[in-house]
């Protein structure tokens, strides 16, 4: 394989990995929505993130199509990951919202790392037509998963985790 083919192969593999990561994220977040219905603001934010993730997956699907990749194999990866995180149907204690926030925040960082590396490989390979979609995905992720150093534990989905902590403490003392 020549150098051009090697970069293309690395890029396509990166797209497939990013696709699997996004589907894994959905399998983590979707069960949370039904479990936190007592916290409608958080449920709404998670719902919005699910829609955003689906848009990001659609962009990756388009890029895979552009590179003539068969997406039928990707479904298997997604399905095998979702079975590990089935919803229990129980509602959650207040502190579980925090645990979800930590896990979601951490996972968003994995997505950011994957998106940044894809953009770099796209630049190396001269796949400039792919960069716009990858940049759109990365911009959304960096906004949702930014580490805001003015708050003690960062920020997830544009809400400082400190605010969630305070709200939960308030709920426990009322
Ligand atoms: Fe995400």
String of b and e for 8-37 (b: at least 16 CB within 10 Å)? beebbebbbebbbbbbbbbbbbbbbbebbe
**Residues within 5 Å of ion ligand 1, judged at the Cβ atom:** 111
State the pLDDT at residue 43: 82
Contact between residue 105 and residue 161 where contact means Cβ atoms under 8 Å apart:
yes
Helices vs strands, H then E, count in the chain: 6, 2
Token reading at 38: 């007592």
- pLDDT at position 81: 43
Give the predicted TM-score (pTM) of the model: 0.78
Query: What angle do helix axes 161-173 and 94-125 make, rounded to 10 degrees?
Result: 170
- Give all strands (DSSP E) within 19-172, no chain letters: 155-156, 159-160
Contacts of 54 (CB under 8 A, 6+ apart): 26
Please give the distance, rounded to the nearest whole angstrom, from the Cα atom of residue 2 to the centre of ligand 1: 34
From ligand 1's centre to the CA of 29, what distance in Å? 9
Map out the domains of the chain with their CATH numbers. 3-173 (1.20.1260.10)
CA–centroid distance, 92 to ligand 1, in Å, is 22
Ligand 1 centroid distance, CA of 1 (Å): 34
Name the burial class of residue 72, with classes exposed (0-12), middle (13-18) and buried (19+) by CB atoms within 10 angstroms of its CB: exposed
What are the tens digits of pLDDT across the range 52-68? Answer: 999 999 999 999 999 98
For the chain of 174 residues, list the mean pLDDT of each consecutive stretch of 10.
86 94 90 81 84 96 87 53 41 68 84 94 93 95 72 51 70 58
CA of 104 from ligand 1 middle (Å) equals: 8
């Amino acid at each position: 394989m020549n150098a051009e083919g090697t970069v293309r192969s690395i890029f396509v593999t990166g797209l497939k990995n990013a696709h699997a990561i996004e589907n894994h994220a959905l399998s983590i977040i979707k069960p949370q929505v039904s479990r936190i219905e007592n916290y409608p603001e958080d449920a709404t934010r998670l719902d919005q993130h699910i829609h955003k993730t689906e848009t990001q997956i659609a962009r990756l699907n388009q890029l895979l199509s552009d590179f003539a990749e068969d997406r039928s194999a990707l479904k298997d990866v997604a399905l095998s990951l979702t079975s590990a995180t089935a919803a229990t149907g129980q509602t959650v204690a207040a502190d579980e919202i925090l645990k979800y926030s930590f896990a979601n925040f951490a996972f968003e960082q994995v997505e950011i790392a994957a998106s940044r590396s894809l953009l770099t490989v796209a630049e190396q390979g001269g796949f400039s037509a792919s960069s716009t979609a990858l940049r759109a995905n990365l911009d959304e992720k960096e906004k949702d998963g930014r580490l805001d150093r003015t708050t003690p534990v960062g920020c997830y989905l544009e809400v400082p985790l400190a605010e969630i902590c305070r709200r939960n403490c308030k709920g426990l003392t009322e």
